[in-house]
Amino acid sequence: MKNTLTFLFTGALFCAAVTKVHAWQPGGIDLDAAIKSGDFGTYLTNAKAWLNEKAPAKPDEKSAALLLKDPIFLSALDQRQLIAKTGADKLGAFAKADPANQAFLAWLLKNTPAMELYLEGAVPIGLAAREANDYTLNTTSLEVWKNILKSDPDAKDGLYLKMAIALALAPPAPGGAGSADKADDAVSRYQHYKTAHQNKELMPSFDHLTVWEYTKVLTSGASSADLTWARAMLNTFRPDLRIDERVVESTSLVWRRAAPPKFYPNGGYQNFKNVLSGGGKCGPRSSWSVMICRAFGIPAIGVGQPAHACVAYKSANPMLQPQPGSAWKVGFGGGWQVSKLEGISGPEFLAAVEKRSDAAKFSCVEHLRWLAGALTAPDRAAAFMEVAHKINDSITAGKTDLTASLKPEEAEADPGVKAAVAGKSVQPAASATPANISADPVKAAAGALLVDAASFAQTGGKISWGGQTPHVLVHDSQTGGKQIYFQQQMKEQWADFTLDVPTAGNYQITMKAACINDDQLLEICSGSNVIATVSIANSLGLWEDTKPVELKLERGKQTLRVQTPVSVDAENHKRGIALKSFELKAKVN
């Protein structure tokens, strides 16, 4: 009997030891088995029980922070959140559908940083939606992500990993004036932006975005061809707008009018070239604002306002106007207080993005929310939510003017209307007129006079309303050297060039110019006489040589003036011309 009792006691100890050795732990053979079998239900149940066992009953900020620093706990929490949000059955079906899916899940569910980027990127923007925590994930996103990884191993880490996740969560979607009829697929869009990034075509801030912010870039409804053209156009036509990443201000170039029918083939805008050339009211201008920001890698979102549409965008310099102090700004309409975007009001959106601005605290808050959702006891869940609320509340919001909006030049429906109502001019004080940039007259070489447009002797003009300067502007050219810009809608503007003409006679002038609208002209004057008129073809903002125009010159040193025609109604013509150079060649009889 004694031997029997000894045997039973020893056996019980052995079983207890075996049970302890095989106590459930996250990851390992159980995770591998779940992925291979597609049975995530059991794993989800065990993960929830394990998290309940490990979480302290009375957490505070210090104990919560220590808990989230435990790599095993963090991995289990992320695994549980991903499986629960996707659905154990749906994730299982995804795993069973393809061995490649199993390989992808084996990589993802064992990669805590990748899971965190995916889960945090999927968190709704609104604070109320974050609190509810009732959103879901889908396996379609995982399929997209898998395909991007298959196309490029670089997508497993760093910036390109974030891009891949962003496209998984928000693939390109058409919509709005100028967008493509059929959106680019996610893999193509990923490759487009990766190439643009490697070629340094995107703004520097693109390197430092969150996954959620990347979704507000890569999801653009524009075709890749239009995105490529838009960057080239702005780099050529208005390179000054690259300074402080102010490309959104190119919206003032989109003529505020009902565009002529030729820009609406088949009943609508077909591309963004038509939007820029044809113009449009608030809808097309809003679409342009969003597209041009996203083309350069700047997050942007369309905004609805009462009887109006405009844009919200993330500025690289929060202290720029409008709303200095806020990284996200609203422009070309009313302020935040009348805006709606992402399904919430403007002030709610601004508060929400500010709560995400501290990446470490945002991550901590969300993980505590996820943990609270996994805990069985309501009082323990409430305790973790209380800690999450304290951390969230500690992220201070910046103060800004909710009524301000970006309104350069053509943001108003009728330029100058405010001045007319007020009975006073809104024109700024005239700035000093640039002069003597090149004191030496241009001389002929190889039988031709090649004139750098920025080598003018003097420039001047008359403005139409506020936001302009009374002369041509000088910009750094992206291809090197300088270029000048005849501003849109000026009453008049001109630049004088001093030449040393070797021989009197007939010459032909050609110009390297860029413009974005039809029917643009530059006049060549000698004294008070217009001696030639050069048509500047709509080059869609890219450099193009004009057709030769004949003019007669006298021998010796003289001044030629290049000017826009004097305006009668500045709203209806002179839409801006960039000039790189011009050449005068003696005509051969």
Q: Based on C-alpha coordinates, what's the Rg of the chain?
A: 32
> Taking 80 as the threshold, does the pLDDT of residue 413 lie above it?
no
Predicted pLDDT of residue 272 = 96
What residues pair up with 525 in beta bridges, in sequence order? Answer: 530, 561
The whole-number average pLDDT for the span 229-246 is 97
What's residue 399's pLDDT? 81
Inform me whether the pLDDT recorded for 410 exceeds 80: no
Instruction: Kindly state the percentage of the chain with pLDDT values over 70.
Output: 89
What pLDDT score does 467 carry? 66
Residue length, the chain?
589
Per-residue model confidence (pLDDT) at position 436: 53
Read off the pLDDT of each residue in 341-362 and give the average, rounded to a whole number. 95
Mean pLDDT of 559-571: 81
Question: What residues are paired with 435 via a beta bridge?
Answer: 458
Which DSSP category does 337 fall into? G
Look at residue 3 and tell me whether its pLDDT is greater than 60: no
Q: Do 414 and 258 touch, CB atoms closer than 8 A? A: no
pLDDT at 433: 52
CA neighbor of 472 nearest in space, from 497, 451, 498, 493: 493
73, 67 contact by CB (below 8 A): yes
Instruction: Return the higher-pLDDT residue of 370 and 566.
Output: 370
Q: Is 171 exposed, middle or buried (0-12, 13-18, 19+ CB in 10 A)?
A: buried
Strands 442-443 and 492-501: parallel
Q: How large is the average pLDDT for residues 496-522?
A: 96
| Residue 155 token pair | 């997508």
Write down the H helix ranges in 281-358: 282-295, 346-355
Name, in order, each residue with C-beta under 8 angstroms of 10's C-beta and a sequence gap of 6 or more: none
Q: How confident is the model at residue 30 (pLDDT cuts 50, 70, 90)?
A: very high
Whole-number pLDDT of residue 404: 86
> 240-266 b/e with 16+ CB inside 10 Å = b?
bbbeebbbbbbbbbbbbeebeeebbee
Q: What is the pLDDT of residues 187-211, one digit of tens each?
A: 999 999 999 999 999 999 999 999 9
The answer, yes or no, to whether residue 486 has pLDDT greater than 90, is: yes
DSSP, res 435:
B
Q: What is the pLDDT of residue 268?
A: 84
Domains of the chain from N-terminus onward: 429-586 (2.60.120.260)
Q: Is pLDDT at 568 greater than 70 in this prediction?
A: no
- pLDDT grade for 99, boundaries at 50, 70 and 90: very high
* CB-based burial, 115-131: b 16+ in 10 Å, e otherwise: bbbbbbbbbbbbbebbe
Min mean pLDDT across 46-60, 253-267, 509-523 is at: 253-267
* E-state strands within 395-491: 442-443, 448-452, 458-462, 473-476, 482-486
Above 60 in pLDDT, residue 11?
A: no
Mean pLDDT of all residues in the chain?
89
- Identify whether the C-beta of residue 226 lies closer than 8 Å to the C-beta of residue 291: yes
Distance in angstroms (rounded) separating the CA atoms of residues 106 and 114 = 12
Q: Which residues contact 132 (CB under 8 A, 6 or more apart)?
A: none
Prediction pTM value: 0.91
Q: Please check the confidence at residue 4 and state whether its pLDDT lies above 60.
A: no
Residue 419 reports pLDDT greater than 70: no
Across residues 546-561, what is the average pLDDT?
Answer: 96
The per-residue pLDDT for 238 is 96
